[in-house]
Amino acid sequence: MSVPAAGPTRRRFLAHFAGVGMGTTLLPGVLWGKMQEAGATEVTPEMLREALAVAGLELDDEAQEAMLDGVNQDLTRRATLREIAIPNDVSPPFHFSPLVPGMEASREERPFRRSHPPVRRPADLEEVAFWSVTELSELIRTRQVTSTELTEMYLERLHRYNPVLNCVVTFLDDRALDEARRADADLEAGRYRGPLHGIPWGAKDIIAVRGHPTTWGSDAYREQVLDEDSTLVEMLRDAGAVLVAKLTTGELAQGDRWFGGQTLNPWNLEEGSSGSSAGPGSATAAGLVGFSIGTETSGSILSPSARCGVTGLRPTLGRVTRHATMALSWTLDRLGPMCRSAEDCALVLQAIARPDGRDMSVVDLPFNWDSELDIRRLRVGYIPEAFDEVVDPLMDAHNRAALDVLRGRGVDFVEVSVPEFTTDLSPIGVESAVFFDELVRTGRDQELTNPGRAAGWRRSWLVPAVDYLRQQRIRSMMMMELARATEHVDVYLAPRATGAQPGQGGEPTALQRHSSMANLATYPAVSVPHGFAESGSPNSLLFFARPFGETELLAVAKAYQDATDFHRERPGAVT
């Protein structure tokens, strides 16, 4: 870049870059690095020249002098701002919307209709450890079992099998038994709180629980105790659910390794449970909790659900509050249930899908669960090219068999095509760098279980604000393309990327492209087990819907599960 010749254009150019333009958007990361190397408190002319060279910019001495004043003024302002402590879950005052122009979400409230399966208490109560929430709630509602009995059973299993699976960070025995006794007293007094009344559950350990450690899976936060409950914990307590444990998360919501080691898959103890909702996936699959809550930024509910064979729901962003939950990306983070059935996910979502006045991204849209919804009235699609890309014969057979099951339930599939559009649009690097900026700048990143994670955050210092915002505008364009491609369906199916052929010349396949697009657009999705791999681990299929279409999404998944038994299988290592 060269400076314009003398005149009004040149003066405007210099004014722009000497003020807030270049000093605040193009060079902050480079200049910060130069200052750190020199141990300096302000930018020198030499540092500025070197930073300009790195950025590929050419300015004359007059322009550099004008710019230098503005840069150092910016440094002073930023230093003042960094003295202000910002809680991790405070997002910027603008909020992501998954709805694009022309897209509507239903605001009609309809009656909540759940199943009431006939149940009978077995002689050995531990037999119900793998029962669905739908069935457990009927045991409690009909007073065949108390919440205290269920809680004691699940706590005993948690303590017995945690040494095998490494899925618990903090046991909450005393708290759980107090909540269970309160649930029993409420029921005796005629205060039935609904289908989650008395059901034991586990929380991923990035969700705050007052008075107990919330470690985020990291040595750097191992002693952290937050003086508040997350809204989600409050909502589930109000629904009568009983919190029995804080379950493991990969460090700072990545992977299945945390400061206590690796969390394992109960179907195959030779492999991890996948992440980062590693503990919820493992504990739910192993029958150690009635259900669990995980979080997802880019696969952290769907991946461990698939690996461990549980039914995991990634809701639309804006469906469930994230208040007092560790933030990684305010435009991607979501919380959702990990259960044994699609209807279980619906029962949990019914309790938590509402605004709380704290997370301003949450929208006031009804979630109208109807267990009797006739899926033949829905437009159900699938992505043929994605199914064709699966080269693992066993996975392909499971995928095709699942389509046949739904055809047998009256589904007339329509085809969905994946748009040709870039998916190199993830905001996670920049947004996570914002949330962990203080950790890195103070050098506390060396306390991380995996200190190497900070390298990515440091790289994000070099991303100009203009480029970040431009990327997100392109993301909006991508979302509009995906909306057009899916406007003729309510729900559609796609395989998991496992077993798919690689892209040609490094280009992503249709399956990979769709997976990225649906995540970036925050479409709801549910992972449903539909067979087993040769390793003995479950295979799974993904169901998707357009934003806030969780009712239809879970109805189709339930129809599949009503016709199959894969979600009822039990891992041998914990039975």
Q: Beta 291-296 vs 200-204: how paired, if at all? A: parallel
- Report how far residue 51's alpha carbon sits from residue 33's, in angstroms, rounded to the nearest whole number: 9
Burial grade of 177 (CB within 10 A; 0-12, 13-18, 19 or more) = middle
Known catalytic residue at 276: yes
3-state secondary structure at position 9: helix
Catalytic residue among 300, 371, 432, 537: 300
Please name the residues in contact with 350: beta carbons below 8 A apart, sequence gap of 6 or more: 112, 194, 195, 367, 369
Active site residue 246: no
Establish whether 298 is a catalytic residue.
no
How far lies 169's CA from each of 204, 258, 266, 454, in Å? 9, 10, 17, 24
Helix, strand or coil, per DSSP, at residue 241: coil
Q: Which of 34, 91, 137, 204 is catalytic?
A: 204
Sheet containing strand 491-495, edge to edge, reads: 168-171, 242-247, 200-204, 291-296, 334-339, 311-314, 525-532, 538-545, 491-495, 380-382, 414-415
Which residue is catalytic, options 137, 147, 230, 276? 276
| Residue with the two structure tokens 């007052």 | 210
**Strand-pair category, 414-415 with 380-382:** parallel
Nearest to 569 by CA among 121, 291, 267: 267
Q: Which has the closest alpha carbon to 194: 348, 32, 78?
A: 348
Q: How far is Cα 450 from Cα 448, in angstroms, rounded to an integer?
A: 5
Give the distance, in angstroms, between the CA of residue 377 and the centroid of all CA atoms in the same chain. Answer: 30
Q: Is the dihedral of CA 255, 426, 311, 382 positive or negative?
A: negative
Q: Which residues participate in catalysis according to the annotation?
A: 204, 276, 300
